[in-house]
Chain A
Amino acid sequence: MLIIGERLSIISKQVREAIQKRDKEPIKDIALEQYKAGAHMIEANIGPAEDDGEELMEWMVSTIQEAVPLPVSLDTTNPSAMEAGLKIHNNEWGKPLINSTSFDPERFIMFELAAKYNVPIIALTVGKGGLPRDAEERVEIAVQLIEKAAEYGLSPEDLYLDPLVLQISTSQQQAKEVLRAIKLFQELNDPPMKTIVGLSNISNGCPKELRPLLNKHFLSLLMYEGLSAAIVNPSEVIETVKTVSVIMGKTLYAHSYLQI
């Protein structure tokens, strides 16, 4: 499973301050910590970045890639910042990932960028009308997203479908719908559609001590349903990922399996 390190997000106070000061060190440290913990890709979430988006995304991508030999998942709603990130990204360690588009015409420009730069893209199964109610609604939107992507010349293999994980504390029944959606998404294509989640949203708003517990157990269930990628805190979930991979027979067991 593809592990994308979530920690470089504008939502984090430490990251926000480092960004404001353009202080590379904390950014590099966090990138490196995630790389060592087992991340395959580093998320750079700069938010809407309305003022200085292009320059900021360039700065983030190059700072991250100065610290770790990994590709970057580019997370912004600002298309010109997205394009700036795609241009500066060093593809030596893999292609970047566009995070994200959805079934909202304002965000179709991200499909255009994915096609132009020949990179994979996360497609949230959300329309303009608000949050999806259940797995079936997510699947309906997913079908529309696959068709829309095709109009831009993208194949289903370029897409990562994201069912949108919601908070357990306020939308408890949605956790089960997300699990069902992961299973159903895969049936939309052969080879199966790729799927992704922003995991920690499940425990958003929960007491601090409960969050890792909720995240890890939810991830186990998602992996059982066939999840292909997750945006996570790598050090928190790496043992879960390795253990479930062994239980599911994807990794061959050895007594030291946690150490590799």
Chain B
Amino acid sequence: MNFTIPKESYTNKIPEIVFGKVKRAYFGGESALPFLTFEGDFPHKPLIALEIQDAPPEDYPEELAKIYSSVWNDPVSWAKFCEDLGAEAICIRLMSTHPDSKDTSAENAANIVKKIISAIDLPFIILGSNHTEKDAEILPIIADVARGYNCIIGKAQEGNYKTIAASAIAGGHNLIAMSELDVNLAKQLNILITQTGFPKEKLIIDPMCSALGYGFEYTYSVMERIRIAGLIQGDDMLCSPMVADVGFYVWKTKEAQAKVEDNPSWGDLYERAVMWEAITACSFLLSGAELLIMRHPKAVEVVKSFINDLI
């Protein structure tokens, strides 16, 4: 008797996100669980965006400084540098707007964004600093400045989604909706955002990321549950692509920072830090993320080769 592989049947398909003005990037659109190419269609590979910031970062550890410190004083040069590294998309994080950082103004952020997006012809993700009130203040202005550039903006949260979703509609952008590590809250936020009139097919779920060793498995299992609910259980409100904001969490860990002298058994810092980001990212691809926001070019290279091995 021949053995036939049992196949799962799916009731839904993840919407495809297309962003960018001239050069475009794509992700999503698949109709089966991650990498199960024998069960469904996968029109796009997962996408990796390289992260830059609007001002010299305050918390980039040594291994990142080695790569970016020569360009991070000027966000346009930094973006150009990422383009030369072969980035398919760039994520601008407006970290200096955070009240605990430099508390820079929305106008300042808008100027920087305007300069970058007019100088570099790549698709952009534009993020605030994850400060609920400040993001509600700056993101509407950013969404307006970037009108016509078809970006992804974020992150809309429970406390600010109304303002941010409205400005994403007005600016014609895709939107990242972030909830706190809970499948029910993720669903609720998506319902609330679509009730504002924001088109569901332009929503991206951020279930809140984490780094290997620091709550990683919570994000992983929430992502799994979201994906299963959306694709198999027919839950339309959870049938959206997901982002893993990997670099932001990984490069805060001590494993990505501690010198080998301080912890000889941990081994070489460069290799350890790069692999910490790469392994965190690869694992989130397995739980369903289609969009990764990463920092180290070598880690991106490792993840890309992992993707190419699987698809």
Contacts and interface: CB of A to CB of B under 8 A. Distances in A.
Interface of A: 250-256, 259-260
Contacts of A251: 235
A255 B188 contact: yes
B195 interface: yes
Interface string B137-154: 000000000000000000
A254 B233 contact: no
A252 B229 contact: yes
A260 B183 CA distance: 16
Interface in B222-239: 229, 233, 235-238
Contact of A252 (B192, B195, B238): B238
Contacts of B188: 254-256
Kindly state the interface size class of chain B when it binds its partner.
10 to 19
B187 interface: yes
Interface string B177-209: 000000111011001100100000000000000
Contacts of B233: 250, 252
A254 B187 contact: yes
A3 B184 CA distance: 25
Contacts of A256: 188, 191-192, 195
B237 A254 contact: yes
A258 to B, nearest CB: 10
19 contacts: A250-B233, A252-B184, A252-B187, A252-B229, A252-B233, A253-B184, A253-B187, A254-B184, A254-B185, A254-B187, A254-B188, A254-B191, A254-B237, A256-B188, A256-B191, A256-B192, A259-B191, A259-B195, A260-B236
Nearest to B185: A254
B191 A260 contact: yes
Contacts of A260: 191, 236-237
Given A252-B184, A253-B187, A260-B191, 17 more contacts: A250-B233, A251-B235, A252-B183, A252-B187, A252-B229, A252-B233, A252-B235, A252-B238, A253-B184, A254-B185, A254-B187, A254-B188, A254-B191, A256-B191, A256-B195, A259-B191, A260-B236
B299 to A, nearest CB: 33
Task: Tell me the dominant secondary structure on chain A's binding face.
Answer: loop
Contacts of A255: 188
Kindly list the 8 A-B residue pairs having the minimum CB-CB distance in the complex, ordered from nearest. Answer: A254-B188, A254-B187, A256-B191, A255-B188, A253-B184, A252-B229, A252-B235, A254-B184
A254 B182 CA distance: 10
Contacts of B229: 252
B192 to A, nearest CB: 7
A256 B188 CA distance: 6
A250 B233 CA distance: 8
B188 to A, nearest CB: 4
Contacts of A250: 233
A250 B185 CA distance: 17
A259 B196 CA distance: 13
A82 to B, nearest CB: 30
Interface string B231-263: 001011110000000000000000000000000
A154 B66 CA distance: 71
A50 B184 CA distance: 53
Nearest to B230: A252
A132 to B, nearest CB: 34
A2 to B, nearest CB: 13
A40 to B, nearest CB: 13
Residue with the greatest number of chain A CB neighbours at <10 A, chosen from B183, B188, B195, B238: B188
Contacts of B183: 252
A251 B191 CA distance: 14
Nearest to B225: A252
Contacts of B235: 251-252
B181 to A, nearest CB: 15
Contacts of A259: 191, 195
Residue with the greatest number of chain B CB neighbours at <10 A, chosen from A254, A255, A256, A259: A254
A253 B238 CA distance: 11
Nearest to B186: A254
A254 B177 CA distance: 15
Contacts of B191: 254, 256, 259-260
Nearest to B195: A259
Contacts of B184: 252-254
